[in-house]
């Protein structure tokens, strides 16, 4: 199962929102995509992924739809709602602010 | 748009939960399939791929639960689960559940009822315009015997206040009055209670009539056209709700009055008995309207915005002092005081209501403690189960929540039942509680509902929290380690139960003592000696209209003719006339001076109640003659300058010397006259709830219409007095068919009416106290039985080792009686405090009455011993062999 999640707390939401911002994806694809893009650095565990997806859905940021995958099986695809898009903007901004700040401290300090 | 998304999800999660659960499984299954497919793509064989995927996936159940826990309504789901468990646990012991629910139903029901009444009577604003701005203004005598010197206002004072002060927006006055009501066409006569109200009174209160109009300023003069306003109940009852009565005439004391309006149905001020209103000034003879010493009126004032009642009253008070100075020879008060109108309306009922509410609150607390106690016992029995669940990972919070659900269920069921009881009880109380002001506004509404729901949750918390916390306490490990043979392991639990029990006993004692005091006071009232014979006495009132009976001769002729007729009836032993019978109320009081004490200035303290009586009155009611003689038949018409005084009068104003032959100067027949004292008679109470007051009797055969036209015929009978009520009424209508009689009552009924309120509160508090005693008894029995069961092994060993059975009996009894003793001491202190607090509604009873205290301690101890003996005897009969084997 590997180490516990390395993700900075609260960034999982951001990653999920960002990953599905282009097109709706199902849970497996979201996890895979995050893993690939980050060169296998970020491993999203199912134990975190699904509760997070359901929480975001309850909060109205994302909306699920059942449709067929390439293999013809029914799967739950998550897409951004309008409110989710706005939330993504906000989370991005605060992430950039935070990471810039951390970078500055790490490089200069 | 986000709220819409969230709302959609909430609805989805609430109504399609089952569906969503299946979909969640499907979603996770899909993830697993993907993983397997990926593993196979990497070259694993299907079986290995599957097990590797499962390994990586972890615990699917846990994952599903975690995802589910983010759903909305999760709390509802958990709550439903707790309730399900709770129902099952309660269902396992239906006896316990039933008792607990009934206990809570009684407590919650009674509390809700009392709250409904208190809210309607004490807390709701009066149904007038801006009721907070209304105050009552009274005169205030600086020197007074008993009481606080506050006095009702005279018409002259009121008129001067209104004309000469400007601190209030307006002032209005009313006074009680009474009429014989007859119609134009031989309708049955009846006596009605009426109110004389100043023309602006309805404007001050903000009352619009239901029909017609209210009075005009022109009509509010002594000799103006007679007009009358009908109450809604009279309008419906006597005139069939026919609006054509407006503008027609009714006869009041045979004078014609034009009906100008009908008051709204809800308007029952000053009391529901008031049937009609006439202009204030018209209730006074023209000559008396300006008098400053006819204290009979109540004054309502409306505050000006921004002017405090104190400031406005100060101005009135200053004026009143000038009036006092200008009328130094008359009883005219020095000051004026105010009281908020709401306080004035409820002043007699406030303390009893609050006492009742406290009593019922105590009962509810005891009920909570009892349920709490029962739950602790069950908690102890389930100790192992709870410990195992705790060890398996059940969080303490969820264990507590589960136990709380149990007490919540009990309280919910009890509360619902209680609410039903309270709806019935409230209706019954409101209709049977005499003299309860504002009874018409009492009904169960949303506020009451909210209160009882709040009460349910509060009681659930009170009853459940302590047992839940204690039974899920830190001792999980200890509980698991406890071998089945361990003894005395739950000493702390026993301590908790004993503390609860002590509290229960203490509160019960407080209730018992208060109830005992109230009941003793009530008994004292009921059995208080009126000062005359009360058995087989009937009283019938009538009032001769001054229009027909306008001379002394006519009045005396009627009185004498009636007496002669009634005396000749079969079953009458004696009959006599008096203005107001003993216990019949205030009637009138006047100040006087004593001629033999020259240069005596007017003295307010020289004040006595006045009565008029015929020569046979005292012997008829067996009021003893102490000195001198009764009236004679010669003391009649203008030869009426003789009076008889009561023993209290003689003691108060003639201490030491003989009053016979002395003279008093007192107003009679609207002028100051001198009377010779011819006799001293025994005291009679004017009201059983009030202290004795000096009394002076005038001859009723003086016949002065203004003084003696209203009379009560008192009849002593050989048989049932009420059987004579109709014959007596027939004699009255034989003499004057248009003359109604009223207040046809026996003397015990008169006493009963004036003590009805005390009877009510005493009986209710006593009922609450007895219930609490029963509850405390059950609690005690429960605790001891539990302790004995816990200690069966220990006791068995003791007996096996040679302990005497009497020793065991003593041990258990002492164990039970210790919390009782402590509770008793605390309760007695509390009871004494409560007694001191309710001193104002205790009549003739000390708040520390030893008889009451002894009786209550006795009944508590008796109950306690009964509750203790059964478990103690059971303990002493334990067979050691069996006890040791059962484990």
**Residue-level pLDDT at B158:** 92
Range ranked top by mean pLDDT from A65-74, B116-125, B153-162: B153-162
Same domain, B161 and B65: no
Q: Looking at the domain assignment, is residue A109 inside a domain?
A: no
Strand B190-197 with B274-279, pairing: parallel
Tally of domains within chain A: 1
CA distance B6 to chain A (A): 5
Residue B260's domain comprises 150-332
- On whether residue B125 sits in a domain, the answer given is no
B572 and B499 in a common domain? no
Residue B798 has what pLDDT? 83
Name which residue leads in pLDDT, B132 or B390: B132
Residue B567, domain member (yes or no): yes
Distance in angstroms (rounded) separating the CA atoms of residues B496 and B369? 11
Q: Would the pLDDT of A69 be above 80?
A: yes
Query: Is A4 part of a structural domain of the chain?
Result: no
B319-333, B343-357, B375-389, B413-427: segment of lowest average pLDDT: B375-389
Q: Identify whether residues B372 and B492 lie together within a single domain.
A: yes
User: Are B578 and B517 found together in one domain?
Assistant: no
Answer whether residue A5 is part of any domain: no
Tell which A residues from 7 to 66 touch B, by Cβ distance under 8 Å.
Answer: 26-28, 45-47, 50-51, 53-55, 57-61, 63, 66
Q: What are phi and psi of B533, to 5 degrees?
A: -70, 140
Tell me how far apart the alpha carbons of residues B866 and B854 are, in angstroms, rounded to a whole number. Answer: 18
Query: Which H/E stretch holds residue B821?
Result: helix B805-837
**pLDDT tens profile B377-427:** 777 767 777 778 777 777 778 788 888 888 888 889 999 999 999 989 888
Residues in chain B with CB shorter than 8 Å from the CB of A13 are: none
pLDDT tens-digit readout, B500-516: 888 888 988 888 888 88
Determine the structural domain holding residue A19 and report its residue range. Answer: 11-104
Q: Which of A46, A66, A82 sits opposite B58 (nearest CB)?
A: A46
Mean pLDDT score across all residues of chain B: 85
Using the structure block, give the residue that is written with the tokens 């004035």.
B344
Domain annotation covers residue A1? no
Q: Give the tens place of pLDDT for each residue, B736-769.
A: 888 888 888 888 888 887 787 778 888 888 888 8
Task: Tell me which of A16, A48, A58 to substitute to probe the interface with B (most B C-beta atoms closer than 10 Å).
Answer: A58
Task: Evaluate whether residue B644 is within a structural domain.
Answer: yes
Both tokens assigned to B625 = 């003659």
- pTM value? 0.74
Helices assigned H by DSSP within B439-490: 446-471, 476-481
> What whole-number distance in Å separates Cα of residue B206 and Cα of residue B552?
44
Q: Distance from B402 to chain A by nearest Cα, in Å?
A: 25
Of B24, B50, B72, the domain-final residue = B72
Q: Is residue B749 part of a domain?
A: no
- In whole angstroms, give the CA distance from residue B508 to residue B447: 30
Same domain for B634 and B503, yes or no, is no
Per-residue model confidence (pLDDT) at position B9: 79
Average pLDDT of span B849-878:
85
**Secondary structure class of B601 (helix, strand, coil):** coil
Has residue A6 been placed in a domain?
Answer: no
Q: Residue B744 has which token pair?
A: 């046809």
Structural domain total, chain B: 4
| CA of A96 vs chain B CAs: smallest distance (Å) | 25
| Closest-CA residue of chain A to B66 | A51
Tell whether B680 and B554 lie within a shared domain.
Answer: yes
Report the DSSP pairing between strands B695-699 and B607-613: parallel
Are B302 and B380 within one domain?
no
User: Which residue of A50, A66, A74 is in closest CB contact with B67?
Assistant: A50
**What integer is the mean pLDDT of B531-546?**
88
Query: What residues in B contact A45, CB-CB < 8 Å?
Result: 58
Average pLDDT over residues B477-499: 61
CATH code: domain of residue A52: 1.10.10.10
DSSP B120: I
Q: Is residue B469 part of a domain?
A: yes
Number of Cβ within a 10 Å radius of residue B564 = 11
Q: What is the pLDDT of residue B491?
A: 57
- B307 shares a domain with B405: no
Confidence of residue A5 (pLDDT cuts 50, 70, 90): very low
CB < 8 Å to B9, chain A? 57-58, 60
Tell me the shortest Cα–Cα distance from B44 to chain A, in angstroms: 18
User: What ipTM was estimated for this complex?
Assistant: 0.84
pLDDT tier, B474 (very low <50, low <70, confident <90, very high otherwise):
low
With pLDDT > 70 as the criterion, what percentage of chain B qualifies?
A: 95
3-state secondary structure chain A: CCCCCCCCCCHHHHHHHHHCCCCCEEHHHHHHHHHHHCCCCCCCCHHHHHHHHHHHHHCCCEEEEEEECCCCCEEEEEEECHHHHHHHHHHHHHHHHHHHHHHHHHHHC
Band (pLDDT 50/70/90 cuts) for residue B485 is very low
Same domain, B593 and B510: no
| Beta carbons of B580 and B743 less than 8 angstroms apart | no
B654 within some domain: yes
User: In this complex, is the C-beta atom of B3 within 8 Å of any C-beta atom belonging to chain A?
Assistant: yes
Q: Please tell me whether residue B476 adopts helix, strand or coil conformation.
A: helix
Q: Is residue B595 part of a domain?
A: yes
Residue B199's DSSP bridge partners are none
Smallest CA-to-CA distance from B374 within B820, B786, B791 is with: B786
Residue whose C-alpha is closest to residue B237's, from B262, B267, B210: B262
Confirm whether A3 is domain-assigned.
no
Claim to verify: residue B249 and residue B294 sit in the same structural domain: yes
| Mean pLDDT, all residues of chain A | 85
């Amino acid at each position: 199962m590997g180490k516990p999640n390395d993700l900075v707390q609260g960034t999982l939401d951001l990653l999920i929102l960002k990953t599905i911002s282009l097109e709706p994806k199902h849970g497996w694809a979201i996890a895979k995509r995050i893993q690939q893009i980050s060169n296998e650095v970020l491993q999203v565990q199912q134990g975190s992924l699904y509760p997070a997806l359901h929480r975001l859905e309850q909060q109205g940021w994302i909306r699920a739809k059942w449709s067929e995958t390439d293999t013809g099986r029914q799967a739950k695809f998550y897409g951004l709602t309008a409110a989710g898009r706005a939330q993504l903007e906000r989370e991005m901004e605060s992430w950039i602010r935070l990471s810039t700040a951390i970078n500055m401290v790490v490089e200069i300090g | 748009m986000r709220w819409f998304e969230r709302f959609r999800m909430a609805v989805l999660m609430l109504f399609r939960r089952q569906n969503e659960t299946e979909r969640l499984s499907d979603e996770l299954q899909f993830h697993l399939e993907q993983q397997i497919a990926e593993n196979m793509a990497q070259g694993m064989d299907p079986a290995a791929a599957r097990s590797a995927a499962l390994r990586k996936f972890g615990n699917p159940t846990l994952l599903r639960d975690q995802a589910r826990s983010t759903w909305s309504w999760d709390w509802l789901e958990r709550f439903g689960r707790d309730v399900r468990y709770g129902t099952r646990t309660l269902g396992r012991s239906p006896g316990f559940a039933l008792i607990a629910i009934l206990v809570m139903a009684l407590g919650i029901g009674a509390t809700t009822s009392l709250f409904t009444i208190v809210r309607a009577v004490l807390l709701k604003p009066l149904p007038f315009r801006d009721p907070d701005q209304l105050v009552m203004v009274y005169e205030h005598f600086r020197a007074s015997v008993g009481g606080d010197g506050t006095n009702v206002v005279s018409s002259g004072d009121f008129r001067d206040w209104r004309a000469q002060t400007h601190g209030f927006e307006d002032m209005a006055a009313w006074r009680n009055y009474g009429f014989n009501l007859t119609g134009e066409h031989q309708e049955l006569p009846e006596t009605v209670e009426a109110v004389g109200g100043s023309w602006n009174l309805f404007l001050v209160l903000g009352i619009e009539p239901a029909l017609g109009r209210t009075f005009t300023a022109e009509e509010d003069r002594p000799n103006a056209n007679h007009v009358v306003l009908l109450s809604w109940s009279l309008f419906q009852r006597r005139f069939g709700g026919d609006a054509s009565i407006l503008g027609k005439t009714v006869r009041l004391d045979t004078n014609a009055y034009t009906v100008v309006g009908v008051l709204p149905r809800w308007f029952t001020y000053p009391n529901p008995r008031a049937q009609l209103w006439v202009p204030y000034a018209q209730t006074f003879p023209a000559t008396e309207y300006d008098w400053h010493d006819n204290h009979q009126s109540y004054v309502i004032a409306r505050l000006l915005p921004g002017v405090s009642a104190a400031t406005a009253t100060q101005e009135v008070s200053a004026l009143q002092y000038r009036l006092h100075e200008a009328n130094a020879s008359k009883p005219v008060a020095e000051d004026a005081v105010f009281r908020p109108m709401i306080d004035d309306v409820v002043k007699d009922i406030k303390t009893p209501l609050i006492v009742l509410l406290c009593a019922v609150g105590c009962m509810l607390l005891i009920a909570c403690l009892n349920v709490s106690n029962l739950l602790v016992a069950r908690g102890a029995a389930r100790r192992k189960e709870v410990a195992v669940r705790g060890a398996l990972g059940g969080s303490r919070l969820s264990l507590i929540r589960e136990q709380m659900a149990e007490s919540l269920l009990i309280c919910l069921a009890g509360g619902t039942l209680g609410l039903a009881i309270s709806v019935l009880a409230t209706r019954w109380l409101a209709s049977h509680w005499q003299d309860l002001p504002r009874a018409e506004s009492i009904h169960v509404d949303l506020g009451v509902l909210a209160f009882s729901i709040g009460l349910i949750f509060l009681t659930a918390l009170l009853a459940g929290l302590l047992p839940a916390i204690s039974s899920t306490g830190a001792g999980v490990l200890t509980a698991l380690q406890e071998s089945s043979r361990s003894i005395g392991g739950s000493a702390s639990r026993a301590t908790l139960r004993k503390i609860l029990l002590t509290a229960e006993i203490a509160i019960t004692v407080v209730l018992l003592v208060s109830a005992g005091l109230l009941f003793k006071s009530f008994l004292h009232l009921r059995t208080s000696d009126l000062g005359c014979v009360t058995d087989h006495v009937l009283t019938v009132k009538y009032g001769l209209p001054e229009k027909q009976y306008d001379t002394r001769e006519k009045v005396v002729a009627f009185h004498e003719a009636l007496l002669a007729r009634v005396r000749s009836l079969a079953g009458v032993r004696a009959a006599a006339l008096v203005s107001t019978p003993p216990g019949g109320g205030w009637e009138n009081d006047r100040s006087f001076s004593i001629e033999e004490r020259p240069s005596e200035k007017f003295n307010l303290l020289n004040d006595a109640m006045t009565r008029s009586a015929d020569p046979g009155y005292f012997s008829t009611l067996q009021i003893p003659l102490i000195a001198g003689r009764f009236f004679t038949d010669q003391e009649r018409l203008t030869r009426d300058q003789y009076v008889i005084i009561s023993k209290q009068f003689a003691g108060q104003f003639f201490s030491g010397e003989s009053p016979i032959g002395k003279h008093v100067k007192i107003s009679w027949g609207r002028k100051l006259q001198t009377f010779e004292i011819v006799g001293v008679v025994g005291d009679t109470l004017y009201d059983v709830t009030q202290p004795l007051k000096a009394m002076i009797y005038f001859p009723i055969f003086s016949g002065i219409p203004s003084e003696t036209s209203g009379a009560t015929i008192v009849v002593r009978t050989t048989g049932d007095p009420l059987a004579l009520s109709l014959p007596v009424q027939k004699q009255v209508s034989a003499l004057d068919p248009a003359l109604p009689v009223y207040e046809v009552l026996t003397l015990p009924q008169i006493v009963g009416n004036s003590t009805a309120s005390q009877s009510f509160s005493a009986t209710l508090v006593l009922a609450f106290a007895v219930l609490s005693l029963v509850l405390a008894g059950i609690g005690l029995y429960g605790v001891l039985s539990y302790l004995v069961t816990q200690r069966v092994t220990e006791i068995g060993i003791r007996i096996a080792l040679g302990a005497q059975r009497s020793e065991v009996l003593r041990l258990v009894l002492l164990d039970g009686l210790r919390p009782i003793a402590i509770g008793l001491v605390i309760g007695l202190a509390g009871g004494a405090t409560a007694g001191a607090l309710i001193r104002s509604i205790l009549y003739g009873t000390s708040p520390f009455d030893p008889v009451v205290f002894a009786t209550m301690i006795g009944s508590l101890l008796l109950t306690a011993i009964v509750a203790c003996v059964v478990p103690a005897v059971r303990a002493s009969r334990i067979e050691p062999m069996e006890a040791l084997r059962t484990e």
